[in-house]
């Protein structure tokens, strides 16, 4: 989508998410206003992927200062282990159709949520409207009902065991024993009340925080101190040169940016086989690093249940925001309509195990909101959901856009691949010669018949040097892009 003389562009994983941000741009808000409004709406219409009980990262470029900064609001491990927390883990199996996967949920799987503090920090970094104004579209949608999309219905079926693991969760997410079908309407007035409470400035010291602590008292780890002292971390991005552009990636302790930078540094050429080999080299280095990714940095991890929002405005502000709730811990905060995270139960984020995680620590994540400043001054904001495929999706998008010179839309919609442990997964839409080269180099491979959500969902926007704004939502994950006049 393209346009001239416009206020901004937003790309996200749901039409309502994009529309909430677009409404703020239309009213004269900045990219940061739009990002916060979209985040709140994502909690309503993308509840499997976004929740006030989780957290994430935001990469922000401010037009007034020209600076690029990273806001880390990922969940933090609690400061101490609860005395009965060993009893607070529940193992369940999620059904992916061709395979099942074991998840660790329950009260002991919850890390300190960072969502609300992140929203405050993004808003403070250039928003013009109050949180009450920014949250209002989401509050109204939660109370008035949202229509379930086929993609959201599919996600709910995959994690149905989590959504029905407690009576309260089942009543909210699967009334009658199954999630509402595509086209059905979901109402969540409790979530509307939660967002209203947060908009007035309350989380840790509100009834929301007190309710969370009651739920954590017997078999969890969180204390009042955890909620009260949680702080976002402002970090300098990992900045690299790529094809003449400056690329800003999520730095350590997040894993993603370092791995993507390592792969880009070893990209021998622009062909798909070159991308496959660079991905393989980076994955082997990741494995050999044995968790110490600092050895890959120029100066074993993934994240389930992620969604991404990219925004740029006509003034030159841009933000890329990726959030996650893990897979959810199965418990709905009573009276507030959202599920807490299960970050301590995510083996790929917390490889230490439920009883052996490091206290008071930011764990690594594969999420990587990304900004690109092009040689001519153009700015791109992009990012992806997609578990451990996030790094591959963003790497290929950057390689195609910055090195091959493809437009952002071409780079995002192009066929994609992922290499891990010597195994190649590849979409079959590559040109015959490129596909043949890749599968010849990787005898252990699987060809996917079409674009698939397995390969992530990169949503991106671009502000050209002439102020022209474009946006693209990845069709693999129901992406939507809106240009706001």
Domains in the chain, ordered, with CATH? 7-65+75-235+321-345 (no CATH), 238-303+368-465 (3.60.20)
- Chain centroid to Cα 14, Å, comes to 13
Q: Which two tokens stand for residue 304?
A: 């389930």
- The DSSP output letter for 313 is E
CB neighbours (10 Å) of residue 429?
15
* Predicted local distance difference test score (pLDDT) of residue 88: 84
- The DSSP output letter for 26 is H
Contacts of 26 (CB under 8 A, 6+ apart): 7, 484, 485
Contacts of 371 (CB under 8 A, 6+ apart): 59, 61, 68, 237, 247, 248, 318, 320, 379, 380, 381, 382
As annotated, the active-site residues are 306
* Predicted local distance difference test score (pLDDT) of residue 137: 98
Q: Which helix (H) or strand (E) holds 383?
A: strand 379-385
Q: Are 89 and 104 in contact (CB under 8 A)?
A: yes
Q: Nearest 5°: phi and psi at 243?
A: 60, 30
Q: Are 72 and 232 in contact (CB under 8 A)?
A: yes
SS3 category, 147: strand
Q: Are 470 and 461 in contact (CB under 8 A)?
A: yes
- The DSSP output letter for 49 is T
Query: Whats the size of the chain, residue-wise?
Result: 485
* Predicted local distance difference test score (pLDDT) of residue 198: 97
Q: What is the dihedral sign for C-alpha 230, 323, 198, 8?
A: positive
Per the listing, tokens 């062909």 go with 271
What is the rounded distance in angstroms from the CA atom of residue 283 to the CA atom of residue 446? 17
Q: Which two tokens stand for residue 108?
A: 């002991």
* Predicted local distance difference test score (pLDDT) of residue 100: 60
* Predicted local distance difference test score (pLDDT) of residue 84: 85
Q: Are 362 and 74 in contact (CB under 8 A)?
A: yes
CB neighbours (10 Å) of residue 67?
12
- pLDDT of the chain along its 485 residues, tens only? 444 578 999 999 999 999 999 999 999 999 999 999 999 999 999 999 999 999 999 999 999 999 999 999 999 999 999 988 888 888 887 665 555 667 789 999 999 999 999 999 999 999 999 999 999 999 999 999 999 999 999 999 888 999 999 999 999 999 988 999 999 999 999 999 999 999 998 899 999 999 999 999 999 999 999 999 999 999 999 999 999 999 999 999 898 999 999 999 999 999 999 999 999 999 999 888 766 666 555 433 444 579 999 999 999 999 999 999 998 999 999 999 999 999 988 765 555 655 678 899 988 889 999 999 999 999 999 999 988 899 999 999 999 999 999 999 999 999 999 999 999 999 999 999 999 999 999 999 999 998 999 999 999 999 999 999 999 999 999 999 999 98
In b/e form, how buried is each residue of 234-248, taking b as 16+ CB within 10 angstroms?
Answer: ebebbbbebbebbbb
């Amino acid at each position: 989508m393209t346009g001239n003389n416009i206020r901004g562009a937003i790309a996200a994983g749901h039409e309502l998410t994009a529309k909430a941000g677009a409404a703020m741009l239309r009213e004269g808000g900045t990219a940061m206003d739009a990002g916060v409004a979209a985040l709140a709406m994502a909690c309503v219409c993308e509840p499997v992927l976004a929740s006030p009980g989780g957290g994430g990262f935001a990469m922000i470029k401010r037009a007034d200062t020209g600076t690029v900064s990273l806001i880390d609001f990922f969940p933090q491990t609690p400061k101490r282990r609860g005395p009965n927390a060993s009893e607070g883990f529940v193992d369940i199996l999620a059904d992916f159709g061709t395979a099942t996967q074991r998840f660790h949920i329950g009260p002991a799987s919850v890390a300190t949520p960072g969502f609300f503090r992140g929203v405050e920090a993004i808003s403070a970094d250039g928003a013009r409207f109050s949180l009450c104004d920014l949250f209002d579209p989401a509050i109204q949608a939660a109370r008035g009902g949202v229509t379930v999309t086929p993609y959201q219905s599919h996600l709910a079926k995959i994690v149905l065991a989590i959504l029905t693991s407690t009576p309260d969760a089942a009543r909210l997410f699967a009334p009658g024993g199954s999630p509402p079908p595509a086209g059905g309407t979901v109402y969540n007035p409790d979530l509307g009340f939660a967002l209203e409470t947060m908009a007035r400035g309350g989380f840790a010291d509100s009834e929301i925080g007190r309710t969370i602590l009651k739920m954590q008292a017997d078999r969890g780890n969180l204390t009042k101190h955890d909620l009260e002292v949680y702080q976002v971390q402002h970090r300098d991005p990992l900045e690299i040169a790529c094809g003449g552009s400056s690329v800003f990636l999520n730095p350590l302790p997040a894993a993603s940016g370092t791995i993507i930078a390592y792969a880009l540094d070893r990209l021998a050429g622009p062909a798909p086989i070159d991308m496959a080999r660079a991905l393989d080299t980076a994955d082997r280095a990741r494995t050999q690093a044995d968790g110490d990714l600092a050895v890959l940095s120029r100066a074993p991890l993934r994240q389930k249940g992620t969604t991404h929002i990219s925004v740029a405005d006509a003034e030159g502000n841009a933000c890329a925001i990726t959030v996650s709730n893990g897979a959810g811990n199965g418990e709905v905060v009573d009276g507030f309509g959202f599920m807490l995270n299960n970050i301590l139960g995510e083996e790929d984020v917390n490889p230490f195990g439920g009883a052996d995680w490091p206290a008071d620590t930011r764990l690594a994540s594969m999420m990587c909101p990304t900004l690109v400043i092009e040689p001519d001054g153009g700015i791109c904001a992009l990012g992806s959901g997609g578990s451990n495929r996030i790094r591959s999706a963003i790497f290929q998008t950057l390689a195609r856009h910055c090195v091959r010179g493809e437009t952002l839309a071409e780079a995002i919609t192009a066929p994609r691949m992922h290499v891990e442990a010597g195994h190649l997964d590849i979409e079959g839409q590559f040109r015959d010669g490129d596909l043949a080269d890749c599968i010849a180099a990787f005898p252990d491979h699987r060809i996917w018949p079409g674009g698939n959500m397995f390969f992530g969902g990169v949503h991106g926007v671009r502000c050209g040097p002439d102020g022209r704004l474009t946006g693209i939502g990845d069709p693999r994950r129901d992406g939507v892009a809106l240009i706001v006049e």
